[in-house]
Structure 1
Amino acid sequence: MVLAYHEIGKQIYVASGENDRAEYGKQLLQYLSERLTTELGKGFNVRNLQMMRKFYVMFPNAILI
């Protein structure tokens, strides 16, 4: 599960242009939250997606086994 969260965080980081553009990021996270919740169920609210992105930013080269 940790590997999945790391990968989701990476994808969000790359999709947001690898920076923190406030307005675009809010819209992107809201869209992803709705889409992932519909497709995969609970656990993908905006706050969780923010934390997944932060996890990737803090540990971009983490080797997760």
Structure 2
Amino acid sequence: MQRHEIMEAMGGLGLKGMASAFDEAVTTGLQRKRTTMEILTDLLRAGAPPPACRVHPLPHDGGKAPAV
């Protein structure tokens, strides 16, 4: 698949931000002569939410209804 085809496919899937991250990761990776694994790692890190944005499960109270 060519670069423009990948960018169009990501745009069609509603992944415009990921398309931008992909383009940046590949361009930078090639300029720095990085391995494929390093480029993919950069891409995955760009798509992962920052630690502060991750959802943490709330404590579960056993399913009891609140007392009124």
On whether the aligned pair clears a TM of 0.5, the verdict is: no
| Structure number with larger C-alpha Rg | 2
**Under TM normalisation by the shorter chain, which class is it?**
0.3 to 0.5
Higher RCO structure, 1 or 2 (CA under 8 Å, sep 6+)? 1
- TM-score (ref. length: structure 2): 0.36
- TM-score (ref. length: structure 1): 0.37
